[in-house]
Amino acid sequence: MTWVGYPTEQFEVTAGAGDLVRFTTDTGATRTFCSHCGTTLLYQGPRWAGEVHVARANIEGEIDREPQLHVYVDEAAPWCAIGDDLPRRG
């Protein structure tokens, strides 16, 4: 899954905030979903404190950045080949 990270202070939900459901994991991360359809929307976690991550599939159009790294590559399925030289984090 592709995420786009933003500094928390630069991110704001401007509509539909009452439709969001949050789940806190045992690792202290918060995952936010749509209460109507269950779509994954946001991720915030201690590993990236001060950032909110938006699921790329929920952003219409182009964005102002290219991919910067791959994360959780140690948990990737064996058939998930990464074919670039971007940095990788466990």
Over residues 34-51, the pLDDT tens digits come to 999 999 999 999 988 999
The two three-digit tokens of residue 47, written as one number: 């590993």
Arithmetic mean of pLDDT, 83-90: 88
Mean pLDDT of the chain, nearest integer: 92
Beta 88-89 vs 30-34: how paired, if at all?
Answer: unpaired
pLDDT of residue 3 exceeding 80: yes
Closest CA to 72 of 45, 52, 34, 54: 45
Query: 33: which strand partners?
Result: 21, 40
Report the predicted TM-score, pTM, of the whole model to 2 decimal places: 0.81
CA distance 20 to 10: 19
CA distance 27 to 13: 24
Residues in the chain: 90
